[in-house]
A and B are shown apart, each in its own frame.
Chain A
Amino acid sequence: MSPLRRFLLAPEAIAGAIILVALFAMALTASLFFPGDPQAIAGPALLPPFQDWSLPLGTDRLGRDVLAELFHGARTSLVVGLAAAAAALAVGAIVGTLAGFAGGLVDEVLMRITDAFQTVPSFLLALAFVSVVGPSLGVVVTAIALGAWTGPARVARAEVLSIRERDFVAGARVIGMHPLEIAFREVLPNALPAVLALSSVIVAAAILTEAALSFLGLGDPNRVTWGGMIAEGRAVLRTAPFLSIIPGVALVLTVLGVYLAGEGVVETTAVRRSLS
C-alpha cells in the first residue's frame, strides 16, 4: 500500500489534515476577508456571537471583530510555530551532526551545552529571553527555538553516531572529501528523517508556548494572537465567556491537528521503519 493510501485510511490523520488545511486557509485569507487592522474598532463593544451577521463571532471589550482577530491570530500562531520549529530543527540537526561526527572534545563541549539548555525548563527560558530582549515576532521565535533545539540535537547525534560507521562514509574519506562536507552532505541528509519525525511535536509545543507568552503579555504587541485574545477575555470571563472560549478552542484544535497530521505522516511513511 502506498504511504498516501495508508494516510487516507487513518481517520485521525485525516482529522488532523482537515484542521491543518482550515488553519492554513484562515492564515492565508486573513487579509483577504479582513483587510485593514484587525485591532481597529468594528462595532459596539461586547456584542455576543451570532447576533449580527457582519460580525458573526461578535466583538470584544473594545468593539473589535472577534472573527477578524481569530483569522489574523491563526497567521501569528502558524508563523511563530513553524518558524520556531524550523529554527529548532535546523540548529539541533547542525549541533547534533557536529557533535556526533567530530566526537572527542567537540562532542563533549556541545553535549554539555545541550545538557545545560535542557536543564532549564523551556518556558522559563523563553520567558526570560523575551523579558530581557523585549517582545517582537523575531524575539518570540528565537525564544521558543532556544528551548526546543535540544531534542533534535540528541536525535541527530544518535543517528550520526551510527551512520558515520557505514562504508559510504569511509568511502567519502578515501576520496579525500573535506570532513565538514562529509558531515553535512553525506551524513546529515541520512540522519534527517529521524530528526524531522520530531517536527509535529515541536510545532505543537511552539504554538502553545507562543500562546502562553502572549497570554502573559509578552507577545509582539503589534500582532493579534490567540494567547492575547484569551488574556483580553479573562477580564470579562463571567459576562462574555465566549471571548476566551473561541480562541481557546482554536488553540486546542490547532495543536491537536498539528500533532495528529504529523503523527499520521510519520506513521505512514518510511520514517518510522528507518528508525527501527
Chain B
Amino acid sequence: MSSPLLAVSGLTKRYRRGGKTIAAVDDISFHIEPGETLALAGPSGSGKSTIARLVLRLIEPDAGHIEFEGGDFLSLNGAALRARRARLQMVFQDPLAAFNPRAMVARVLDDPLRTHGVASRPERTRRIAALLERVGLSADLAARAIHEVSGGQRQRIAIARAIATKPSLIVLDEAVSALDVSVRRQILQLLLDLQRQERIAYLFISHDLGVISAIAHRVVILDAGRVAESGNARAVIGAPQSAIGKALVAAAPKLNRTSQGAADRQ
C-alpha cells in the first residue's frame, strides 16, 4: 500500500498561560489518504484550530512529525516551503476576515496563481474566470470588491482560491459554521463535487457532527488536546464510545443518521 497523503504523529503544542503550561495539542497522531475526508470534531477549545495551524505550518509544534506527499513537511523552509504550499491549502471560518479588506475578487484569486508562477496576465485572467465558474459563480464577480459579495459567495471564492493551485489537501476550519443552513448545504455539495472530480482530500474541522456526517469518511474526536476516539464517521457518530463523543452526538439533535453521508459512499 502506498504511503498516506498526510501522516501526523506525536504532534504536540504547548502554550504558557498564567505561569503554567497547557498542552493545546497533546501527542496527536492521524493520517489522511488521497481523496479522503477526515473530520476533526470536538468541543470549543479542544485543539482543533491549533492542529489546523500546525499542519499548515502557520505555527511550529513542540514535538511530532508531519509527513506530506511522502516528504518531511516540518523540515521545509523558505522558498521550498512556499512552493510546497501550493499543494496544501486552507479555507477559514469567517470568509470576510480571511481576505484583505481592500481586495478585489480578481486579486484574491490572482494571488495564488501569480505566486505559483502562472506568469502571463491574460492566462491568469482566463483562469480566474474559470475558477469562479468552477465554484458556481459568475465570472463577472471578478470585478467586485470582496466586501461587496454575500457571505456564501465569499466562501465559494475562498474555495476557488484554495483550489487555484491544484492542491491535494485542503484544511477547512469550521468553513461552513458561519453560513446559514441552505447556503451551508450548497457549500458542502460543492466540496463533495470537487472531491469527486479532483480527488482532493479534506481535513474538515467542525464541532457539528451533523455536518461531519454529511461529508467525512473518518472522524477523530478530540478532547482537551487528545484523541478521545476515532474511526469510520458513520460508526463513531452512530455509536460513540467516549464520553465526549456521546456528548457531541447528544448536542446535535438534528443529526440524521440515515442521510446519504460520505461514510455511506465508501
- Please say whether chains A and B are actual partners in one complex: yes
| Contact A168–B97 (Cβ < 8 Å) | yes
Residues of A at the B interface (CB closer than 8 Å) are 166-168, 170-178, 186, 189-190
| Contact A176–B116 (Cβ < 8 Å) | yes
| Contact B82–A171 (Cβ < 8 Å) | no
Interface size class of B (residues with CB under 8 A): 20 to 34
Q: List 11 contacting pairs A-B, 8 Å CB cutoff, sorted by A.
A: A166-B97, A167-B92, A168-B101, A170-B56, A173-B85, A175-B89, A176-B86, A176-B165, A177-B82, A189-B100, A190-B100
Interface residues of B in 152-179 (CB under 8 A from A): 161, 165
Interface membership of B151, Cβ < 8 A: no
In the bound assembly, the distance between CA atoms of A189 and B101 in angstroms comes to: 10
A166, A176, A189, A190: which contacts B82 (Cβ < 8 A)?
A176
List chain A residues, Cβ under 8 A from B102.
189-190
In the bound assembly, the distance between CA atoms of A6 and B163 in angstroms comes to: 45
Interface membership of B140, Cβ < 8 A: no
| Contact B58–A186 (Cβ < 8 Å) | no
Knowing A167-B94, A178-B82 touch, does A172 contact B111 (C-beta < 8 A)?
Answer: yes
Closest A residue to B167 by CB, please name it: A174
Interface membership of B83, Cβ < 8 A: yes
Find the residue from B83, B98, B116 having the highest chain A CB count within 10 A: B98
| Contact B111–A175 (Cβ < 8 Å) | yes
Closest A residue to B107 by CB, please name it: A185
| Contact B85–A171 (Cβ < 8 Å) | no
| Contact A171–B99 (Cβ < 8 Å) | yes
| Contact B98–A175 (Cβ < 8 Å) | no
Contact pattern, B 65-93, Cβ under 8 Å of A = 1, otherwise 0: 00000000000000001111110111010
In the bound assembly, the distance between CA atoms of A166 and B94 in angstroms comes to: 11
Interface membership of B34, Cβ < 8 A: no
Closest 4 interchain pairs by CB? A176-B85, A176-B82, A167-B97, A174-B90
List chain A residues, Cβ under 8 A from B138.
none
| Contact A175–B58 (Cβ < 8 Å) | no
Residues of B at the A interface (CB closer than 8 Å) are 53, 56, 58, 81-86, 88-90, 92, 94, 97-102, 111-112, 115-116, 161, 165
| Contact B98–A177 (Cβ < 8 Å) | no
A174-B89, A175-B161 provided; 15 other pairs, C-beta below 8 A? A166-B97, A167-B94, A168-B97, A168-B100, A168-B101, A171-B98, A173-B85, A175-B165, A176-B81, A176-B82, A176-B84, A176-B112, A176-B165, A186-B100, A190-B100
In the bound assembly, the distance between CA atoms of A175 and B84 in angstroms comes to: 10
| Contact B98–A167 (Cβ < 8 Å) | yes
Closest B residue to A187 by CB, please name it: B100
Knowing A175-B85, A175-B111, A178-B82 touch, does A170 contact B100 (C-beta < 8 A)?
Answer: no
| Contact A168–B115 (Cβ < 8 Å) | no
| Contact A174–B58 (Cβ < 8 Å) | yes
In the bound assembly, the distance between CA atoms of A166 and B85 in angstroms comes to: 19
A188 to chain B, nearest CB (A): 11
A117 to chain B, nearest CB (A): 31
| Contact A168–B112 (Cβ < 8 Å) | no
Closest B residue to A185 by CB, please name it: B100
List chain B residues, Cβ under 8 A from A175.
85, 89, 111-112, 115, 161, 165
In the bound assembly, the distance between CA atoms of A174 and B56 in angstroms comes to: 7
List chain A residues, Cβ under 8 A from B92.
167, 170-171
Closest B residue to A172 by CB, please name it: B111
A194 to chain B, nearest CB (A): 14
List chain A residues, Cβ under 8 A from B116.
176
B204 to chain A, nearest CB (A): 16
A243 to chain B, nearest CB (A): 51
List chain A residues, Cβ under 8 A from B165.
175-176
List chain A residues, Cβ under 8 A from B89.
174-175
List chain A residues, Cβ under 8 A from B58.
170, 173-174
Closest B residue to A177 by CB, please name it: B115
In the bound assembly, the distance between CA atoms of A127 and B157 in angstroms comes to: 55
In the bound assembly, the distance between CA atoms of A172 and B88 in angstroms comes to: 13
In the bound assembly, the distance between CA atoms of A40 and B88 in angstroms comes to: 72
B90 to chain A, nearest CB (A): 5
| Contact B83–A176 (Cβ < 8 Å) | yes
List chain B residues, Cβ under 8 A from A174.
56, 58, 85, 88-90
List chain B residues, Cβ under 8 A from A172.
100, 111
In the bound assembly, the distance between CA atoms of A168 and B161 in angstroms comes to: 12
List chain B residues, Cβ under 8 A from A190.
100-102
A103 to chain B, nearest CB (A): 13
In the bound assembly, the distance between CA atoms of A174 and B116 in angstroms comes to: 12
In the bound assembly, the distance between CA atoms of A176 and B86 in angstroms comes to: 7
| Contact B90–A171 (Cβ < 8 Å) | yes
In the bound assembly, the distance between CA atoms of A174 and B98 in angstroms comes to: 11
Closest B residue to A178 by CB, please name it: B82
B172 to chain A, nearest CB (A): 12
List chain A residues, Cβ under 8 A from B111.
172, 175, 177
A176 to chain B, nearest CB (A): 4
In the bound assembly, the distance between CA atoms of A168 and B58 in angstroms comes to: 12
